[in-house]
Amino acid sequence: MSQQFNQTYTQQLASTDNKGKATVPGSILLGRVIHVVRGSYLSDGVTPDQYYEGFTSIGAVVYQLINTNQDRTAQSSGNPIARPLTNCLIQYPIPGEIVYLVAGPSRKQNDARNSKDYYYLPAFSVWNSPHHNAMPDLGDVAATTNTADSSYQQSSTSGHTNNVGAPTKDQYVLDPSFIEKSNIKKLYQFTGDLTLEGRWGNSIRFGSSLKADSKLNYWSDSNADGDPITIIRNGQGATSNQQGYVQTVENVNTDASSIYLTAGQNIVVDDIINSFPLNSFGISNNKTSITTAVILTQPPTSNDYLSPALADKISHV
């Protein structure tokens, strides 16, 4: 642990016992993520990750302490790495995002009772965006961009993220393996919904029909209030605007791919032939109507007084 970290750590966090001796702190640090350990090599697959210390360091972050004189690239390298607080639901932060850092039990605690490691919580939702919530160090932005009016300075007032697609020479690159997309929108939340949102327009909604919201979504106009619906979406579809801060609602006709688990809701597909050509199956979906059908002469039988063997003898077709 560097002298710089020790000094900051002692000044800001250390508490004392009744004899004035410094004890293990119980306060919380704020850190801006610099780097995330994903494996033994960096994203190029060739350069070793200097912070990789074995399997237990996967997901660990290197950080710059906020509200200190630490510089992101020069003086923060001596800070101890911080590991994820939990592993039940994983989303590693990206460089530039800000996290809480808390002291917790160390793997070496059986050898030294006061031994502590650092753990981080999910990133602060600074921009309220599912895509990213990075707030890079302005000194680093100025050093790596060619204009004083950088896109991140504009973002601080407009709420926008950077331009869609690959970064230009005037943009600050958060991470070589993270291509920023300003049009990724947050899902609109209806009353009682639970949603899980990825960074790229992929999501799961655990929702319901609600007549009061029938003008805002596509599944509430034909059902009773409270009928459940689960929507799995992989890829945000075309929208009327490209502003990432404007909320959106799933649309089976424009989203890249979807799974709708319904409880009687009507999900209308506008044009199944052109919207869903089934190219990934290697077949051509060019039929305009169904010309054949299988007629059931007797409905399937399932009850509690026929044995499975007897039920199997009954012809359903």
Note whether residue 100 is domain-resident. Answer: yes
Q: Residue 22: beta bridge partners?
A: 16
Domain stops at, among 120, 152, 175: 120
pLDDT in tens, 48-68: 999 998 998 999 999 999 877
Q: Are residues 205 and 113 in the same domain?
A: no
Domain stops at, among 97, 120, 143: 120
Q: Which of 27-41, 123-137, 190-204, 231-245 has the highest mean pLDDT?
A: 190-204
pLDDT (0 to 100) of residue 146: 55
Domain total for the chain? 2
- pLDDT band of residue 238 (cuts 50, 70, 90) is confident
Mean pLDDT (whole number) for 123-147: 82
Note whether residue 166 is domain-resident. Answer: no
CA–CA separation, 249 vs 259, rounded Å? 14
Domain stops at, among 120, 148, 166: 120
Q: Are residues 115 and 7 in the same domain?
A: yes
Q: Are residues 16 and 110 in the same domain?
A: yes
Range of the domain at 223: 194-281
Note whether residue 180 is domain-resident. Answer: no
pLDDT (0 to 100) of residue 230: 98
Note whether residue 35 is domain-resident. Answer: yes
131, pLDDT greater than 90 = yes
Note whether residue 255 is domain-resident. Answer: yes
The full 3-state SS of 301-316, as one line of letters, equals CCCCCCCHHHHHCCCC
Contact predicate 65/102, CB 8 Å: no
- pLDDT band of residue 33 (cuts 50, 70, 90) is very high
pLDDT (0 to 100) of residue 244: 83
Note whether residue 147 is domain-resident. Answer: no
pLDDT (0 to 100) of residue 160: 45
- Edge-first strand order for the sheet with 258-261 is 194-197, 202-208, 228-234, 258-261
Note whether residue 49 is domain-resident. Answer: yes
Q: Are residues 113 and 206 in the same domain?
A: no
Alpha helix positions (H), 137-290: 138-144, 151-158, 272-275
**Of 184, 189, 309, 169, whose CA–CA distance to 243 is shortest?**
184
Note whether residue 273 is domain-resident. Answer: yes
pLDDT (0 to 100) of residue 150: 42
pLDDT in tens, 172-222: 778 888 888 889 999 999 999 999 999 999 999 999 999 998 889 989 988
